[in-house]
Structure 1
Amino acid sequence: MQLPHNPSARQDAHWWPWIAALLIAALFAGIGLRDPWPADEPRFAQVAREMVESGQWLFPTRGGEFYPDKPPVFMWLIALFYQLTGQLKIAFLLPSALAGLGTLWLVFDLGRRLWGENVARSAVLVLAFTPQFLLQAKAAQIDAVACFWITLGCYGLVRHFLLGPAWGWYAASWVAMALGIVTKGVGFLPALMLIPLAIWRRPVTASGQQVWCMRTWWGPTLMLGTLALWLVPMWVAVERIQSPELLAYRDNILLRQTAERYANAWHHIKPWHYYLSTALPSMWFPLVVLFLLQIRSIRKLWPSSVALRVLLSWVALVLLFFSISPGKREVYILPALPMSALALAYVWEQAPEKGRRTASLLLRGALAVVGLLLMLLAAMALFAPDRLHHRADDYADAIAALAPGLLILGLALSSIVWLLRKRALFEQLALASLLTWLFISFWLWPSLNTHRTPRAVMQELEQSLAPEAEVGMLEFKEQFLLFASRPLVHFSYLAPLPQQEWNAWRWIRSAPNRVLLLPDNLALQCFDLTKKRVLGEAHRRNWVLLDASAARESCGRAVDRVPYRYVPVKKDILLSN
């Protein structure tokens, strides 16, 4: 349905290709300029690296130990791009960037088909200026890829039920849900859209074609069949090998990391209202403000637009689904963002000029204030750096390097408010967001990279040890595997510290030339930390070496476990700065 032209929108067609090109540039900017950063990126990058090194892709491993926390699709994608590019520093960010690009296209195309190109462009701009979207599209976390599959699932259902029938897209939506489940367990979320569709979409279209019929049941069957392409080989391999580690992997990934994690979460415990009171205002600003200011327009459009009712009802169901679980994180609600952006774009394009004036004044003022604050921060970094160092002591040397860029960015954001005052609000906000992300990608990332990796600690370790020395780790982190140029031994990431310590004590005493790498703030019973050799600081912790002389004569017994030994084969990440 094409909407009538809105003369105040000022989104001229000749501007759109430039903004779209800038958005694509922002998505891919900075790839290759930084290493994987904690908390999650080193883990996924290392798992993908081990897939390529070992040729074993069915069961993800981390330092040789099976990794059961997440399904494998995201790691498969990183591994695929690693094989294609030969550079882990490039490959680890590509899946999220491409998923972000795909999500943008799906939202644009669906908006164009539902309500015309003005709404489609506005929806893309909303995604561009909502912080969470580009934050995840430019990070090597699972959520951007999961969001793409879920958006594709919603796209297929809307194409079929509201714009169809389109049985091909209906089938594609269920395949996308299956791929979403094998990426992150919540890939089934588009199925919740069937509830509002069942309420507001009749089985037969105005032209007499059926969208609800017996063929509808093929969708869940197709989803289960797609899931079986991963589940059956994995299950068969586990049953054939029957190792305790693989049995634990299967049970963990199919039960503990899905139903148990949702119903009885063991971390990230938040109150029921966390998404409404904290996550949405921070990660979806200014989208939330725009929605609140357009409540009257939404109420006016609600009776006449089935698509609006379906999209907003689905968003509400997703928020309800995640609010029920005691475990909550901001990234969980990312899949609801694309459909929220599309609904807001439609409401905004239909809103009267008077209804948009308040939002425009408020958000343009906020943009000007942000620009001013950035300039003040830059001035403080240049002329009074001591005031900032105590707040960001770990990044003291990076603050001065960032000051010129912060000044330029602050001037640019303030200039957008004045120089582009006759342009549409969404264009201004999107341009400000994209310039910020270009600054982050080309200036901030390279400046902070040395502070976000253990490269210096691992280089010091190499200089301190003889080539034949063996290195073990207590409480190991994946980033240390990434930057290791020699084999590393660890005592199970999943084991509690007392069990790791017991097995490390046995290991270091069983052969000469063995040392332990560990943070110096661990409460150890089997080792004398006064005999440590300091290597340096990484990730806000001091890292030290202990040799066999630091092992005490006795150690309380724990469960015996064979140590894991990871031998780095592909070392391309060590060759980049």
Structure 2
Amino acid sequence: MSSHPISGAMQHQALKLSQQRLLVLLLAVASVLIFVGIGLRSPWPADEPRFAEIAREMVDSGQWLIPMRGGEFYPDKPPVFMWTIAAVYWLTGNLKLAFLLPNAICGLITLVAVYDLGCRLWNQRVAVLAAFLLMLAPQFLMQAKSAQIDAMVACWITLGCYGLVRHFFAGPAWGWYFSAWGFMGLGIITKGVGFLPALMMLPLLFIRWRQQGGFEKSLRWRAALGPVVMLAVAAVWVIPMMLYVDAVNTPEAIAYRDNILFKQTGERYADSWGHIQPWYYFIVNVIPALWFPLPLLFLAHLRSTRESLRRYPEVVVLLAWVALVIVFFSLSPGKRGVYVLPALPMFALALAAITDAREPARWFSPVITAIQLLLSLALVVVGVLAWNNYPALVTKVARYSQDSGALHAAGLFVATVGVVWALALAILWRRPPLERLFAALMVTWLLYSTWGYTLLEPLRTPRNILAAAEARLGPDASLGIIDFREQYILFSRLDITHFGFGAEYEQDERNAWQWMTEGQQRFVLVSKDKPLNCFTQAGAVDLGVAHGERWLLLGPEQQAEDCTAPERKRQFYTPKPGRWIPQRG
């Protein structure tokens, strides 16, 4: 049978066009899931108000080199993530848009990198499956839709892995090899662990040794220049920062430099002072829940995994790197669930190659179905109890809201989500279990990003108590905050003074008393639960509840006649930081 001489080229072009259309469809679905809700909510604790306030101060002050919160150096993280929020805020003037947009874009970049690598290493089917699995894991969308720093550093780490894998398995591609190291440098000045893709060199070198020189074209002397590129990119910020510190030579600047270079890196890893967890924390507490159902799918394909490890050195490298990342973070005493997020994209890619066109173990489908059914029933039951003002739930919610209808509205939302999960199970009963789960999760994300945001917004910001203070005091008053948190600066339309992040509470109160004596129209915000020596709660104005605490407004009438002077005078002033909030808010 004869064939047209250009039919092969036409088929190739058709396949290429099909891949492009599929990628566009994938991006469209992911964009809806990630971008819906941007602009509908404000920054929420714990981390979002901090980064949003730093970005706002960058734009207002024009000082972008060293992050500052409330006029005080912020030494915990390098500035790249805050730069991106500040850049969007500078361009748009809309902080509610700016604080979520960078991570949303990074989430899409991560998804495209995983898809493209799947196409290059295997085929389009594996690529689509990898993207599907990545969106299925709750941790990915959770971080892409928030303003924590981890989604961005995960993006740079994924691009670092992309460059190395593309060079060694779909190359050589020296441009991508050096770009990988460049992204590691960018990751370092986003959050210190940006170097993690370098761990991939260990299984790559092992594969090279097993294959007796199979990477000759990809591993030459010039490969040693990769770490130089990484350090050069990191130096773009580190060197100007050090020069600035040397120039100003203040104790605060020197403390900032030493903190960001040493305490927040090696010391924080080796001798953590917070989030202390046992070595098995990620394996037992984090990955089973936040990567669900990927760990179950992996266990259901153990036989396929052994076969894939024999057939595909790429899978060996990807799984080995994921294991190294988990081990790296497990060795540190301080652990948070977001730490292992950078390993998720490569795990999804490896798992897609393992499970491609293979049936899972027989137990997998009924287990996933049972979990979805039980979750739907649990959500409906909890929603109905909340709707009917179940006493235990009323007590819990009352800590966060004085609105008697808040629990009723929350119950309706939770019950609706439970019904969605049950309907997905019933309507898609004949579809594979992961498709049913995906449908339920995607609708849930859309409901949460719209309806859920409107329910949570009053509970996750302190705007209510600050608005009460503003209405009582007028625009010329100034507020001081004892034991401050960034959200109380970010949402205030009055001038704000705080007395140092992390200062001893006793010194905080003494500084507040001294600050009040030095001027007129000065008032202090403090939690009702805090003990007071330099003030009294008698006659204080009750402003309401925010973040589970009742807040009081203290004026000169609550000021003690005398108070021991603070060991060190610390006052950090921010003029009307909440100007970004619409006046009707």
Helix, strand or coil: the match of 2:545?
strand
Picking from 422, 430, 436, the partner of 1:428 is 436
Match of 1:566 in 2: 574
- In structure 1, distance between residues paired with 2:469 and 2:158: 46
Match of 2:495 in 1: 487
Picking from 369, 380, 384, the partner of 1:364 is 369
Match of 2:395 in 1: 390
Match of 1:509 in 2: 517
- In structure 2, distance between residues paired with 1:88 and 1:76: 13
Match of 2:554 in 1: 546
- Cα deviation digits, residues 429-468 of structure 1 (max 9, x gap): 2222111100100111111101111111111101111443
**Is there any run of 5+ residues in structure 2 with no aligned partner, and where?**
1-18
Match of 2:355 in 1: 348
Picking from 156, 175, 178, the partner of 1:168 is 175
Helix, strand or coil: the match of 2:311?
coil
Greater shift, 422-431 or 266-275, is seen at 422-431
Q: Structure 1 pair 376/70, CA: closer, same or farther in 2 (3 Å)?
A: same
**Is there any run of 5+ residues in structure 1 with no aligned partner, and where?**
1-11
Match of 2:14 in 1: none
Amino acid in structure 2 at the alignment position of 1:490: H
- Cα deviation digits, residues 259-303 of structure 1 (max 9, x gap): 111111001011111111211122112111112222222123212
Q: Structure 1 pair 204/384, CA: closer, same or farther in 2 (3 Å)?
A: closer
Helix, strand or coil: the match of 2:581?
helix
For residue 343 of structure 1, report the CA deviation from its aligned partner. 1.1
- In structure 1, distance between residues paired with 2:507 and 2:385: 48
Picking from 167, 178, 188, the partner of 2:185 is 178
- In structure 2, distance between residues paired with 1:336 and 1:208: 24
Amino acid in structure 2 at the alignment position of 1:398: A
- In structure 1, distance between residues paired with 2:578 and 2:396: 38
2:127 is the alignment partner of 1:107 = no
Greater shift, 403-412 or 246-255, is seen at 403-412
- In structure 2, distance between residues paired with 1:309 and 1:472: 57
Greater shift, 299-308 or 160-169, is seen at 299-308
Picking from 173, 189, 207, the partner of 1:200 is 207
Match of 1:461 in 2: 469
Instruction: Report the count of equivalent residues.
Output: 564
Q: Structure 1 pair 21/420, CA: closer, same or farther in 2 (3 Å)?
A: farther
Amino acid in structure 2 at the alignment position of 1:23: A
Helix, strand or coil: the match of 2:442?
helix
Q: More relative contact order in 1 or in 2 (CA 8 Å, sep 6+)?
A: 1
- In structure 1, distance between residues paired with 2:577 and 2:536: 33
For residue 243 of structure 1, report the CA deviation from its aligned partner. 1.4
For residue 306 of structure 1, report the CA deviation from its aligned partner. 0.4
For residue 405 of structure 1, report the CA deviation from its aligned partner. 4.1
- In structure 1, distance between residues paired with 2:416 and 2:514: 57
2:244 is the alignment partner of 1:218 = no
- In structure 2, distance between residues paired with 1:564 and 1:78: 23
Match of 1:82 in 2: 89
2:99 is the alignment partner of 1:92 = yes
Match of 2:5 in 1: none
Match of 2:261 in 1: 254
Counterparts of residues 23-172 of structure 1 (less than 5 Å): 23-172=30-179
- In structure 2, distance between residues paired with 1:549 and 1:119: 70
For residue 205 of structure 1, report the CA deviation from its aligned partner. 10
Amino acid in structure 2 at the alignment position of 1:84: L
Q: Structure 1 pair 565/242, CA: closer, same or farther in 2 (3 Å)?
A: same
TM-score, normalised with respect to structure 2: 0.92
CA contact 1:482–1:573 (8 Å) conserved in 2: no
Helix, strand or coil: the match of 2:538?
helix
For residue 19 of structure 1, report the CA deviation from its aligned partner. 6.1
Amino acid in structure 1 at the alignment position of 2:429: R
Helix, strand or coil: the match of 1:285?
coil
CA contact 2:78–2:190 (8 Å) conserved in 1: yes
Helix, strand or coil: the match of 2:374?
helix
Q: Structure 1 pair 378/349, CA: closer, same or farther in 2 (3 Å)?
A: same
- In structure 2, distance between residues paired with 1:446 and 1:576: 16
Amino acid in structure 1 at the alignment position of 2:384: A
Helix, strand or coil: the match of 1:266?
coil
Amino acid in structure 2 at the alignment position of 1:427: E
- Cα deviation digits, residues 404-431 of structure 1 (max 9, x gap): 4444433332232233234344333222
- In structure 1, distance between residues paired with 2:248 and 2:326: 41
Q: Structure 1 pair 64/220, CA: closer, same or farther in 2 (3 Å)?
A: same
Match of 2:530 in 1: 522
- In structure 1, distance between residues paired with 2:513 and 2:250: 26
Q: Structure 1 pair 557/57, CA: closer, same or farther in 2 (3 Å)?
A: same
Amino acid in structure 1 at the alignment position of 2:29: L
For residue 540 of structure 1, report the CA deviation from its aligned partner. 0.7
Q: Structure 1 pair 305/520, CA: closer, same or farther in 2 (3 Å)?
A: same
For residue 572 of structure 1, report the CA deviation from its aligned partner. 2.5
2:424 is the alignment partner of 1:416 = yes
For residue 557 of structure 1, report the CA deviation from its aligned partner. 4.0
2:284 is the alignment partner of 1:264 = no
Amino acid in structure 2 at the alignment position of 1:362: V
RMSD: 2.3
2:383 is the alignment partner of 1:378 = yes
CA contact 2:126–2:353 (8 Å) conserved in 1: yes
Match of 1:473 in 2: 481
Q: Structure 1 pair 213/559, CA: closer, same or farther in 2 (3 Å)?
A: same
Helix, strand or coil: the match of 1:544?
strand
2:13 is the alignment partner of 1:21 = no
- In structure 1, distance between residues paired with 2:396 and 2:362: 39
Q: Structure 1 pair 541/208, CA: closer, same or farther in 2 (3 Å)?
A: closer
Helix, strand or coil: the match of 1:427?
helix
For residue 570 of structure 1, report the CA deviation from its aligned partner. 6.8
2:241 is the alignment partner of 1:230 = no
- In structure 2, distance between residues paired with 1:482 and 1:208: 53
Greater shift, 207-216 or 172-181, is seen at 207-216
Match of 2:456 in 1: 448
- In structure 1, distance between residues paired with 2:583 and 2:362: 54
- Cα deviation digits, residues 41-77 of structure 1 (max 9, x gap): 1000000000011111001110111111111000000
Query: Percent identity of the aligned residues?
Result: 45
Amino acid in structure 2 at the alignment position of 1:111: G
CA contact 2:477–2:494 (8 Å) conserved in 1: no
- In structure 1, distance between residues paired with 2:485 and 2:214: 60
Helix, strand or coil: the match of 2:551?
strand
For residue 207 of structure 1, report the CA deviation from its aligned partner. 9.0
TM-score, normalised with respect to structure 1: 0.93
Helix, strand or coil: the match of 1:120?
helix
2:331 is the alignment partner of 1:324 = yes
Amino acid in structure 2 at the alignment position of 1:312: L
CA contact 1:502–1:555 (8 Å) conserved in 2: yes
For residue 376 of structure 1, report the CA deviation from its aligned partner. 2.9
